[in-house]
């Protein structure tokens, strides 16, 4: 099933025509590149940047993860902890998100987390047999010499949420931080009949944010793992020597014959095509 097309259809039914157009066009126009070693790859030049878009949700997740990891790498004296905070499942997504945010606000303002410098959090939304199950992935950053009472944090979260669990782990390496912060909305778990609720509830809603003294700008700290210049070959690192546009908007992909021949004889498969 193409979840992107399904979401576009739901947006049109809800009269979000402008947003539907942006999602429909996302990833359909871009450039094919070729380097001196005849590796070929593609890069989309049109992006909707919406969390409900499966393509952009994944890209945002990577960008957010990179920014946090790079921030922590630049501040090696900070100690990082990973918290996974859950609440009871609910038939209402809006109610579940409200419960989650209120419980986390209480934990930050009145509990052990006040001793930290703050951190960053991501809300992951999934659907299960009991209904909506949003939960928080939180990176808590502490100054050198500051120690958190893990038992106290778990007890307070359980009290705030009626006995729900709080999983806490020490994030010792940058790889640990990248792995812990890569979560995004799992659209594939949401039944078709509940996509409308997902769209209306999350449109305009912040699913990633900083708190406390920590301020991380994704634009400032997102040094991508791969080169940010899409004209650099992802295989060998050389600059492209030729390129051609492609478009799948309103029909199959259309590129020049020369480019199709280049792709057919490439040493490596096309990479990066959204």
27-47 average pLDDT score: 78
**pLDDT of 273 over the 70 cut:** no
pTM: 0.73
Residue 168 CB: number of other CB atoms within 10 A? 17
**pLDDT of 264 over the 60 cut:** no
**127-162 tens-digit pLDDT:** 888 899 999 999 999 999 888 899 999 999 999 898
Give the span between the Cα atoms of 132 and 96, in whole angstroms. 7
Higher-confidence residue of 7 and 273: namely 7
Residue extents of the structural domains in the chain: 54-221
43-60 average pLDDT score: 76
What the block records as the tokens of 136 is: 């928080």
3-state DSSP assignment of residue 241: coil
Residue 93 CB: number of other CB atoms within 10 A? 22
13-17 average pLDDT score: 83
Per the CB < 8 A criterion, the answer to whether 46 and 59 are in contact is no
**53-75 tens-digit pLDDT:** 877 777 778 788 888 888 998 99
Most confident of 20-34, 131-145, 188-202, 253-267: 131-145
Task: Say what the pLDDT of residue 261 is.
Answer: 34
Task: Say what the pLDDT of residue 272 is.
Answer: 37
Per the CB < 8 A criterion, the answer to whether 178 and 69 are in contact is yes
228-236 average pLDDT score: 69
Give the span between the Cα atoms of 124 and 274, in whole angstroms. 22
Q: Which is it for the CA torsion 83, 88, 89, 90, positive or negative?
A: negative
Residue 103 CB: number of other CB atoms within 10 A? 21
What the block records as the tokens of 250 is: 């309103």
Task: Say what the pLDDT of residue 216 is.
Answer: 82
**pLDDT of 44 over the 80 cut:** no
pLDDT band at 34 (very low <50, low <70, confident <90, very high): confident
Give the span between the Cα atoms of 234 and 223, in whole angstroms. 15
Higher-confidence residue of 180 and 47: namely 180
**Percentage of residues in the chain with pLDDT exceeding 90?**
26
Q: Which is it for the CA torsion 67, 189, 50, 254, positive or negative?
A: positive
Per the CB < 8 A criterion, the answer to whether 146 and 79 are in contact is yes
Task: Say what the pLDDT of residue 229 is.
Answer: 61
**pLDDT of 270 over the 50 cut:** no
Residue 219 CB: number of other CB atoms within 10 A? 7
What the block records as the tokens of 207 is: 């699913």
201-218 average pLDDT score: 84
Give the span between the Cα atoms of 252 and 81, in whole angstroms. 47
Q: What is the DSSP letter of 205?
A: -
Higher-confidence residue of 226 and 137: namely 137
Task: Say what the pLDDT of residue 253 is.
Answer: 41
Q: By C-alpha distance, which of 159, 179, 160, 161 is closest to 171?
A: 179
Q: By C-alpha distance, which of 73, 72, 162 is closest to 120?
A: 72
13-37 average pLDDT score: 82
Largest CA distance in the chain: 65
162, with CB counted inside 10 A (0-12, 13-18, 19+), is exposed
Q: What are phi and psi of 270, to 5 degrees?
A: -65, 140
């Amino acid at each position: 099933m193409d979840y992107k097309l399904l979401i576009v259809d739901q947006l049109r039914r809800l009269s979000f025509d402008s947003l539907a157009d942006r999602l429909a066009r996302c990833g359909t126009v871009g450039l094919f590149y070729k380097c001196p070693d005849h590796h070929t790859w593609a890069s989309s030049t049109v992006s909707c940047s919406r969390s409900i878009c499966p393509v952009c949700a994944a890209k945002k997740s990577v960008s957010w993860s990179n920014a946090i990891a790079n921030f922590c790498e630049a501040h090696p004296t900070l100690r990082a902890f990973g918290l996974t905070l859950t609440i009871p499942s609910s038939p209402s997504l809006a109610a579940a998100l409200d419960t989650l945010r209120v419980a986390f606000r209480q934990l930050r303002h009145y509990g052990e987390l006040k001793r930290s410098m703050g951190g960053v959090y991501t809300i992951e939304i999934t659907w299960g047999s009991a209904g909506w199950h949003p939960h928080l992935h939180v990176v808590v950053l502490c100054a050198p010499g500051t120690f958190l009472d893990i038992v106290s944090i778990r007890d307070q979260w359980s009290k705030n949420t009626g006995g729900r669990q709080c999983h806490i782990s020490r994030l010792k390496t940058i790889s640990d931080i990248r792995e812990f912060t890569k979560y995004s909305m799992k659209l594939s778990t949401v039944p078709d009949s509940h996509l409308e609720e997902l769209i209306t509830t999350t449109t305009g809603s912040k699913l990633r944010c900083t708190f406390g003294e920590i301020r991380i700008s994704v634009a400032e700290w997102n040094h991508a793992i791969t080169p940010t210049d899409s004209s650099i070959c992802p295989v060998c690192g050389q600059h492209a020597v030729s390129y051609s546009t492609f478009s799948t908007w309103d029909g199959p992909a259309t590129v020049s014959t020369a480019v199709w021949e280049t792709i057919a004889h490439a040493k490596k498969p096309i990479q990066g095509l959204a």
